[in-house]
Amino acid sequence: MLQTDEYTINIGPQHPSTHGGLHAEALMDGEIVKDVAVHLGYVHRSVEKIAESRTYTQFIPYAARLDYLASNLPCLGYVQAVEKLLGVEVPERAEYIRVILGELSRIAAHMLFVGSLAIDLGATTGLVYCLRDRERIMNLFEMTSGQRLIAAYMRIGGVSADLPEGFITAVEGVISDLPKMVKEYDGLITGNEILQARCRGIGILKPELAVAYGVTGPNLRASGVPYDLRKADPYGIYSRFDFDLPLGSRGDCLDRLTVRLEEIEQSGRISAQAVKDIPEGEIMGKVPKVIKPAQGREVYHRIESAKGELGFYLLSDGSEKPARLHVRAPSFINLMVLPHISRGGKLQDIIANIATLDPVLGEADR
Partner 1 sequence: MEKLDHGRETPWTKLAEDAGIEFTAVSDPFFTYLSVSPAALHALMGILKQRLGMNYLADITAVDHGSEFEVVYHLYAIPDNGRRLAIKTRIAREAAVLESAFPLYPTADWQEREIYDLMGISFSNHPNLARVLLPDDFKGHPLRKDYRKEGG
Partner 2 sequence: MERLILDIAHLLVSWLTGRGMAPVWADLLLLLLQWGTVLAIVTLNVLILIWLERKVSGFIQERLGPNRLGPFGVFQTIADTLKLLTKEDIIPTQTDRWIFKTAPMFFIIVAVMLYAVIPMGQDMAIVDLSAGLLFFISVGALSTICILMAGWGSNNKWSLLGAMRSVAQMISYEIPLAFSLLGVVMITGTLNLGEIVKAQDKVWFFVLQPLAFLTYFIAATAELNRGPFDMPEAEQELTAGAYTEYTGMRWALFFLAEYTNLVAVSALMATVFFGGWQGPLLPSWIWIIIKTYLIMLVFMWLKWTFPRIRMDHLMSFSWKVLIPISLINIVITGIGIKFIQGMGW
CB of 349 to partner 2, least distance (A): 8
User: By rule CB under 8 A, what string of x and - marks binding of each residue 93-132 to partner 2?
Assistant: -------------------------xxxxxxxxx-xx--x
Q: Among candidates 77, 78, 73, 71, which has minimal Cα distance to 57?
A: 78
What is the rounded distance in angstroms from the CA atom of residue 275 to the CA atom of residue 281? 14
Chain centroid to CA 44: 18
Among 198, 230, 301, 328, binds partner 2 (CB under 8 A): 198
**Cβ-based nearer residue to partner 1, 132 or 324:** 324
**Cβ-based nearer residue to partner 1, 37 or 197:** 37
Q: Among candidates 4, 10, 3, which has minimal Cα distance to 29?
A: 4
Select from 58-66, 144-152, 211-219, 340-348 the region that touches partner 2 (CB under 8 A): 340-348
Q: Does 302 help bind partner 1 (rule: CB under 8 A)?
A: yes
CB of 347 to partner 2, least distance (A): 7
Q: Does 326 help bind partner 1 (rule: CB under 8 A)?
A: yes
**Cβ-based nearer residue to partner 2, 124 or 169:** 124
Q: Does 39 help bind partner 2 (rule: CB under 8 A)?
A: no
Residue 237 phi, psi (nearest 5):
-115, 25
Cα separations (Å) of 300 from 47, 62, 209, 314, 332?
17, 18, 25, 6, 17
Contact 272, 175 (CB under 8 A): yes
User: Cis before residue 13, ω within 30 degrees of 0?
Assistant: yes
Q: Among candidates 53, 63, 129, 18, which has minimal Cα distance to 305?
A: 63
Q: Does 183 help bind partner 2 (rule: CB under 8 A)?
A: no
The beta-strand segments (E) located in the chain are: 7-11, 23-29, 32-39, 154-155, 158-159, 298-304, 309-316, 322-328
Among 7, 135, 173, 344, binds partner 2 (CB under 8 A): 7
Q: Does 41 help bind partner 1 (rule: CB under 8 A)?
A: yes
Contact residues toward partner 1 (CB under 8 A) are 40-41, 44, 46, 48-50, 53, 84, 211-214, 220, 225-227, 232-233, 297-302, 309, 311, 313, 315, 323-324, 326, 328, 332-333, 335-336, 365-366
